[in-house]
Amino acid sequence: MKKIAVIGEILVEIMADRPGLGFFEPLALTGPYPSGAPAIFIDQVARLGQPCGIVSSVGHDDFGQINLSRLQADGVDVSAVSIDPARPTGSAFVRYREDGARDFIFNIEHAACGRITLTPQAEHLFQKADHLHVMGSSLSSDRLVEINLAAAETIKARGGTLSFDPNLRKEMLSRQEMRAAMQRILGMTDLFLPSGEELTLLTEAARDQDALAELLGQGVRAIVHKQGAKGAEYHDADGSVRAPAFPVEEIDPTGAGDCFGATFTTHWLRGTDPERALRLAAAAGALAVGKRGPMEGTSDGETIEAFIKHHEGDV
């Protein structure tokens, strides 16, 4: 089975226990929950039984241990997660507004995950990996860009593949070097997983159709365009497939895109046909939005199958 590697932040998330409250008010908080987009992604991959590992850094503290224990228990290779004695594990405070929008206060830059380096353990993981998943959020510093590019070159030189979820925050694109880094990664991408307007943002195109043609023309083999509760679309040189989202109550949307992306990528690597891979991924995304806590919504293959069976006929 192909081994998937990812690089990026491991955090704990602590959230307001109900929507509509500001950080200025005395809040009841819930957590800490294991989090970080790359960590959620790789945990979902592991829960599907696919070999995988993460390159990251946590502090020598309980928040780091919560994450390491969870990832390890679910089957993620954490040998390339370094323990930084000088910095705490990253954290994020989250509150939800009544309309579902979220506000975050992040502690990443000065935390352990803000200092991820290319260690011998990381290089060893890249030597063993067949596929690299790149998260836009983990291209936030020159050092992280270098590590992602080094991994991409090592893995692709051995005939491996690369998937890319831009996971963009608008402020990232205003930095010219960040845009250039994303475009370099896009130039090496086999499977592209943009969400909403991210499809056009890294291209010259103004319309989705033109962006798809441009990306497929420049060597991207497959594109999965995520559209939240509206579902997702798959495109390759042979055509397109659409999968609606499952109608579920949204409890906590954090992590849905990562669970969806991880499930699609794993099945893409296994050679599952795109229509079925999309349906499995949509189920993983729906299961994720139905659970509070970013990594609490990852699911194993059996749970995903049972969910689809239960919702047969709904979509």
Q: Which is nearer to ligand ADP, 125 or 241 (CB)?
A: 241
240, 233 Cβ separation under 8 angstroms: yes
Nearest approach, Cβ of 133 to ligand ADP (angstroms)? Answer: 13
| Residue (61 or 208) nearer to ligand ADP, CB | 208
Residue numbers of the site for ligand ADP (CB under 6 A)? 195, 226-229, 231-232, 245-246, 248, 250, 253, 256-257, 260, 282, 285-286, 289
Asked if residues 112 and 64 have their Cβ atoms less than 8 Å apart, the reply is yes
Q: For ligand ADP, which is the closer residue by CB, 216 or 248?
A: 248
Q: Which is closer to ligand ADP, CB of 246 or CB of 307? A: 246
Q: Which of 178, 56, 170 is nearest to 111 (CA)?
A: 56
What is the three-class DSSP state of 111?
coil
Token look-up 């990253």 returns 90
The residue number with the shortest CB distance to ligand ADP is: 257
Contact predicate 41/257, CB 8 Å = no
* Contact yes or no for 168/201 (Cβ under 8 A): yes
**Dihedral sign from CA coordinates of 248, 252, 253, 256:** negative
Report the residue number, 63 or 307, with the smaller CB distance to ligand ADP: 307
Q: How far is the CB of 228 from ligand ADP (least distance, A)?
A: 4
User: How near is the Cβ of 296 to ligand ADP at its closest, in Å?
Assistant: 15
Phi, psi of 134 (to 5 degrees): -105, 130
Give the contacts of 212 (CB within 8 A, at least 6 positions apart): 199, 223, 235
Min dist CB 301 to ligand ADP, Å, is 17
Residue 164: count of CB within 10 angstroms of its CB: 26
| Shortest Cβ 258–ligand ADP spacing (Å) | 7
**Would you say the C-alpha torsion 289, 292, 294, 297 has a positive or negative sign?**
negative
Question: What is the smallest separation between the CB atom of 96 and ligand ADP, expressed in angstroms?
Answer: 13
- Collapse the DSSP code of 199 into the 3-class scheme (helix H, G, I; strand E, B; otherwise coil) and give the result: helix
**Nearest approach, Cβ of 294 to ligand ADP (angstroms)?**
11
Residue 216 or 229: which CB sits closer to ligand ADP?
A: 229
Minimum distance of ligand ADP from residue 72's CB (angstroms): 25
Do residues 286 and 248 make contact, with C-beta atoms less than 8 angstroms apart?
yes
Backbone dihedral region of 303: left (phi > 0), alpha (psi from -120 to 50 degrees) or beta? alpha
CB closer to ligand ADP out of 57 and 263: 263
Pick 34 or 166: Cβ nearer ligand ADP: 166
The helix (H) or strand (E) run that includes residue 215 is helix 208-217
